Structure 1
Amino acid sequence: MKPPIRIGIIGLGGYAGAHHNSVVQLEAQGHARLVCTCDPQAEAFAAQQESYEFARRGVKVFADYRPMLEAHGHELDMLVVPTPISLHAEMHRAGVERGIAVYLEKPPTLDYRELERMIATDRTAKKTTLVGFNFIIEKARLALKQRIISGEFGPLRETRLNAQWPRPYSYFARNNWAGRLLAPDGGVVLDSCFGNAMAHFVHNLLFWAGDSTLMSWGQPETARAELYRAHAIEGADTFFVESRTTSGVVMRFALTHACEGASLQTETVVCEKASIHYIVGQHAEIRWNDGRVEPVALEPFNALHENHLDYYRYLRGETSRPATTLVDSRPFVVLNNLAYVSSGEITPFPAGLVKSITHPHDAQNYLAVDGLPDALADFLAHGRWPGSALGWRTGSPAALVTPADLPRFIPTLEALAAR
C-alpha cells in the first residue's frame, strides 16, 4: 500500500466531527494519518479526543489553525476545512500558501466576488482544491450522466429539484449566523436551505445540466426567483428558483424548511426520450416515454469516506482532477446570488397558512405552510409562480436577471437586511 495521506483537520465540533470519524476509519485501513487538529474550544471536546484516541495516534491539538500550520504545515499533504463558511477563504489561502492541498467543505463561499478571489488563489496551488459537494462521484450518477451526454435519452430539456427538509425552531438558533443574510461586520452569510443545508442537491442539479462533458455543470444564463419565509429569521426558508443555462436547459429548484413529515429530495432530469428520477441514497429509475421503466441500482455510498478516498487518489496522481473544483462551484454560487437579486424581497407567508407543530419524535416545534407542497410541485411541473398564482407575493413580480446583474447583489442584500 502507498504511504498514507498526512492530514490536518481544522475543528473538532460540528461537521468536523464527521471528518474525524471518517479519518479514524481511513487511518485504520492504512489510507490516511491524522497529524494535527485544532479548535478554539478544544478543551470542550475532551471526550471526543479520548474516543478518537488522539494520544495513542500521536495527534497534536492546537487552539488555532495558524500555530498548527506553523508547527506542522511542512508535514501535511492535505488540510481539511469544515468550518463556518465565512472562514473558508482565509483558511484556504493559508493552506495553499504553505503548499498544502485543501479539502474545503461546501459551499466554498456564498459571495461571487470572494469565490473569484479564491479561484485566483487556487491557480497558485500545487494541487487543485476539492470542494466537498458529496454526491458527484456516485457511480450510478456518473454512469447516467455519461448516457445523457452520449445522447441516448435525446436532448436534455429540463432539470428539477424538489427538496423539503423540516427544521425545528432550534435549528435557526444553533449559532450566531443561522438564517442570517449578513454578519454584523457586513460580510456575506446567506445561510439558507438553498445555499447551505441542501446545497449538495442544488449542485447535483447543475451537474445534470452540464451537457458538454462528464465533469461539466450548467452555466446559468438567466435566473428568476421568489423567496419566502415562515420563520422569524433575516433570510429565507423557502426558495422557488428557475434558471435557463447557456445551452438552453431549464432548471427549476423548489426547496423549503417550512414543512412537516419526512425529509425528501428528488432530482429529476427531463430529456426528449426519457426522464431520470434520482433520490440520493434511496432509489433511481429511468422512465422512458414509451412506457418502459428502467430501474437503476444505487450501491451503498458513504459520501465522506468516498470523497476522501477520491481526493487521495488525485493527490497521488492516480486521477487527473478532484470531483468538484472551485471553478466548478461557480454556477452554484452565481445562481444563489442571482436568486436574491431577482426576488428583491423575502416575502412572509400569509399568516393564516402558517401552522406550528410539535413533533412527537423529538418534542420540538416546527412551522409548516398549508398548501406549500402542492405549490412546490406545481412550480416544478408547470413553472407556475406562487406569487401570482396563489397571491403570496406582495411586491412587484420577481425580475428576470442575468450574471450581468451580479453587481446588484450586495446592495440587494443590504436592503433586505435593513427591512
Structure 2
Amino acid sequence: MEEVGFAVVGVRNFADSYLHNLEELEAEGKMKLTAVVVKDQVKNAEKVRELRHKGIAIYSSYESLLKDAKNSVDIIGLPVSIPTHAEMAIEGMKAGYDILMEKPPAPTVQQLDAIMKTEKETGRFTSVGFQFIHSNTIRKIKQFILEGKLGEIKEIAAKGFWPRFKSYYDRNDWAGKSIEMGKLVLDGPMHNAFAHYLNNMIFLAGNDMQSSAALKRVRAELYRAHSYIESDDNSCLEAETTTGTKIYFYVTHVPEKLRHPYMEIVGTEGKIEWHMEEEKTKIELNNGQVIEMDNEGLNPHQEVFRIAADKKLGLIEELYCTPENTRSFTVAINGAYDSAKKIKAIPQDLVEEFTNDEGEYQTVLKEIDDLIDQAFAERKLISDLEQVDWAVKTEWINVENYTAFNPFK
C-alpha cells in the first residue's frame, strides 16, 4: 500500500492540530505529512526548523506548493480562513490535487456549487472536515434511523453554550467579522464554532448514509451582545425539511455558564439523546427498550484524515462529508441571514463585560441560559417567548430552490 502524501497550509491555530493529527496517524502506514506552507518563516522559525528536521518540505506560498509539490503531495489540507476556503479548494483541484477542507465549507451556496463544479471538471475530490459526521455515534444513530427503529423523525433539536473571550476574537483578522476585506465571513456561532451540530442534524435527517436532508424553509434570529465584534454571537434557527422533519438550533457565545452541545432526536417510536461531551448517546424507545452507546474510543478528528486517505487509496467508494452533503448546511446559514435580515444588537444594560478569574475579557448576556433552555424545551425561537422584549420576530424563507446568497443586493 502506498502512503498518501498530505500537505497542510499553515502552522498556527487550527493548522497546528492538523500537523499533530497527521504526525500521530503516520504510524498507521496510510499517510504521511510531506509538505507545509509557512508564509511567515521568520515568525515561525522554530516550527520551520522542526519540520525541516523531519524531512518535510516547506513552501513560502500556496502557489509554490501547487506548482512544485506534485511528486510528494496527494491531498492538501486547508485549515485556513473561512473566506478563502472555496477559492483555495478550487485552485488546488485545478492544479491536480485532492482537498481536505476545514469546516464551514464556504460562506455562500454559490461558492459551494462552484467547488462541486470543479470536482466534476477535474475528477478531484474535496472532503469537508465536519469531524462528527466521521464519528461512530453520529453514524450509528443515522444507521439506527435509516433502519426505521425510531419510526418517522418528527424533530431534531440542539443547543450549546460556549463562552468566547476577547482573545478568541483577537486571534486573527476575520474572527467576529461578517465581512473581511470585501469577502463574506459570517463568523457567527452557527457558521463556525457550533457549525458541526447544525450539520449533524441536517445529516441525520437525510434519507441515506451519504445524504443530508433537503430543506424547505428556514427562520432564524441573529443577535450580538459583545460590544467589539460585528457578527452575531447569540443565534437561534428553525428549519423544515422537504419531508417534514423540524430542526431547531440554539447557540450562544455569551452564556452565564459553559455547557457543551446537546441534541435530541424525536421519532414516532422513541427519542435519542446525544451529548457532545464524550459523545454519550441514549436511545429510549416507546416499547421500553433503552440503548446506550459512545464513540468506542474513535477520535473523529483523526478519522477525517483516515477517510480522505482511504478514498485516495481506493479503499472506500464514498467520502463521509462532501460539498454535496454539506450544501443544505450552507443553505441553512444563508437562509438564516436572509430571514434575520440584520444582526440585532442587544441593549448593553443587559450585558456584562468584565475580566474573569482566568484573566480573560468575557461578555455575558444576563439570563440567556434560561431563555435558551425554555426556547429549546418549547421548540420556539427567542422572539416567540413573550417575556423577551429585545428579541425581534423574523420571517420564514423558502429555500427549496436556493442557488445564491447576496446580502449586498
- Matching residue's letter, 2:120: R
Q: Distance in 2 between matches of 1:43 and 1:145?
A: 47
The structure-2 alpha-carbon separation of the partners of 1:29 and 1:77, relative to structure 1 and needing over 3 Å to count, comes to same
What are the superposed Cα offsets for residues 292-319 of structure 1, whole Å, 9 maximum, x if unpaired?
A: 5322233123222221111111111111
1:317 corresponding residue in structure 2: 314
Report if aligned partners of 1:278, 1:285 keep a CA contact under 8 Å in 2.
Answer: yes
Aligned to 1:43: 42
Equivalent in the alignment of 2:158:
161
* Matching residue of 2:230: 234
Distance 1:406 1:321, change over 3 A: closer
SS at match of 2:132: coil
Residues 218, 99 of structure 1: CA spacing in aligned structure 2 closer, same or farther, 3 A cutoff? same
Cα distance change, pair 38–380 in 1 and its aligned pair in 2 (3 A): same
Show the counterpart of 1:220: 215
Trace 1:112-191 onto structure 2 (pairs within 5 A). Answer: 112-185=109-182, 187-191=183-187
- Measure how far apart 1:63 and its partner are: 1.3
2:52–2:58: 8 Å Cα contact kept in structure 1?
Answer: no
Identity %: 26
Counterparts of 1:408 and 1:353, CA distance in 2:
36
The structure showing larger relative contact order (alpha-carbon pairs under 8 Å, at least 6 residues apart) is 2
Residues 405 and 184 of structure 1, relative CA distance in 2, 3 Å threshold = farther
Counterpart of 1:259 (choices 236, 255, 267) is 255
Partner of 1:90: 87
Q: For residues 303 and 115 of structure 1, do their structure 2 counterparts lie closer, same or farther at Cα, with a shift above 3 Å needed?
A: same
Gap runs ≥5 in structure 2: none
Paired residue for 1:62? 59
Note the alpha carbon deviations across 1:152-186, whole angstroms, 9 max, x for none: 1111010111111111122222222111111232x
Q: Given the superposition, is the C-alpha separation of residues 78 and 325 from structure 1 closer, same or farther in structure 2, using an over 3 Å criterion? A: same
Residue pair 2:155, 2:245 contacting (<8 A) in 1 also? yes
Confirm or deny: 8 A CA contact 1:154 1:271 kept in the other structure: yes
Distance 1:143 1:388 in 2: 34
Q: Which amino acid aligns with 1:385?
A: L
Number of aligned positions between the proteins = 407
**2:282 aligns to what SS in structure 1?**
strand
Of 335, 338, 342, which aligns to 1:341?
338
Amino acid corresponding to residue 18 of structure 1 in structure 2: S
State the secondary structure of the residue aligned to 1:193: coil
Q: TM-score, normalised by structure 1?
A: 0.91
For residues 102 and 169 of structure 1, the distance between their equivalents in structure 2, rounded to whole angstroms, comes to: 32
- CA distance in 1: counterparts of 2:300 and 2:46, whole angstroms: 25
Q: Which amino acid aligns with 1:374?
A: D
| Cα displacement (A) at 1:290 | 4.9
1:351 aligned residue: 348
Structure 1 residues not aligned, in runs of 5+: none
Contact kept, 8 Å, 1:42 with 1:62, in 2: the verdict is no
User: Against the structure 1 CA distance between its residues 338 and 40, is the aligned structure 2 distance closer, same or farther, given a 3 Å change threshold?
Assistant: same
Note the C-alpha offset of 1:246: 0.5
Work out whether residues 260 and 366 of structure 1, in 8 Å CA contact, stay in contact via their aligned partners in 2. Answer: no
Pick which of 189-198 and 33-42 moved more: 33-42
One-letter amino acid matched to 2:201 = L
Report the alpha carbon displacement of residue 404 of structure 1 after superposing the two structures with TM: 6.3
Residue 206 of structure 1 deviates from its aligned partner by 1.0
Partners of 1:234 and 1:405 in 2: CA distance: 29
Q: Distance in 2 between matches of 1:150 and 1:316?
A: 30
Residue of structure 1 equivalent to 2:242: 246
The alpha-carbon distance between structure 1 residues 371 and 394, as it changes in their structure 2 partners (threshold 3 A), is closer
Residues 108 and 404, structure 2, Cα contact 8 Å, conserved in 1: no
Question: 2:287 & 2:384 partners in 1: Cα distance?
Answer: 35
Once residues 122 and 260 of structure 1 are traced to their aligned partners in structure 2, the CA distance between those partners, rounded to angstroms, is: 44
1:72 maps to which of 69, 74, 85: 69
Assess if the C-alpha contact under 8 Å between 2:165 and 2:361 holds in 1: yes
Residues 269-348 of structure 1: matches in 2 within 5 Å? 269-280=265-276, 281-290=278-287, 292-348=289-345
